[in-house]
Amino acid sequence: MNRLVRTFSIVLMILSTAGIAEAAGNAEAGKTKAALCAGCHGADGNSMIPSFPKLAGQNERYFIKQINDIKSGSRDVVAMAAIVGGLSDQDVADIGAYFASQTIKVGTVKADQFELGQKIYRAGNAASGVTACSACHGATGEGLPAAGYPSLGGQHTAYLEAQLKAFRAAGRADEAGVRRSNDGEGKMMQSVAGRLSDAELKAVASYINGLQ
């Protein structure tokens, strides 16, 4: 038992210090720099376009990784590549700090998708091996900033559906479509999304949209 406690403590320490080498973001400086993002994501990070993600409230660690993945080509987002290509590490950190300081505007969950969506998010599906989303993204969708797991609560349903389908396609050899594979060495999202049915995917995306 003592060994387990020590191991857990070490893991927490690693997670809490993992981002020390990253540039420290300045939210005030980021506000000006974020004007570059306003057209698609909203001045405060609350995109009005369902296919473009809300960035308000997103943790800096996750934001920085995604921008760097887009810059390197690890995540294929054609519309973003040219925009972020000229950003320095400090620019990315500042913009991330600004959006992290904003509050996301939460949407609503469709009544007919609430029950299934809540089940998948909070408990998963043991029969098909789907892990509960809350295990990594928190009971209220706040994410796990120290580990770089994204905040999800309030995100657009359409955007969530598109990303889950992309992860699912990457996790299934027989499924066509856009594939997304930049989910870490463990490929957790590919594994989880690969086991979601169409009904589960749609329901959990709707549930997260109304989660706060």
Q: In percent, how much of the chain has pLDDT > 90?
A: 88
CB 140 within 8 A of CB 211: yes
State how far the Cα of 12 lies from the Cα of 174, in Å rounded to an integer: 38
188 φ/ψ angles, rounded to the nearest 5 degrees = -60, -45
Tell me the two tokens of residue 74.
Answer: 């690890």
Please write the tens of the pLDDT for every residue from 151-182. Answer: 999 999 999 999 999 999 999 999 999 999 99
Please write the tens of the pLDDT for every residue from 22-66. Answer: 578 999 999 999 999 999 999 999 999 999 999 999 999 999 999
Q: Are the folds of 21-100 and 111-209 the same?
A: yes
Among 136, 183, 190, 188, which Cα is nearest to 164's? 190
CA end-to-end span of the chain? 35
CB 127 within 8 A of CB 108: no
Does residue 91 surpass a pLDDT of 70?
yes
CB 145 within 8 A of CB 136: no
Residue length of the chain: 212
Please write the tens of the pLDDT for every residue from 64-80. Answer: 999 999 999 999 999 99
Confidence tier at 197 by pLDDT (50, 70, 90): very high
Q: Which CATH superfamily is domain 111-209 in?
A: Cytochrome c-like domain (1.10.760.10)
Write down the domain spans for the chain: 21-100, 111-209
For the domain covering 21-100, report its CATH number: 1.10.760.10
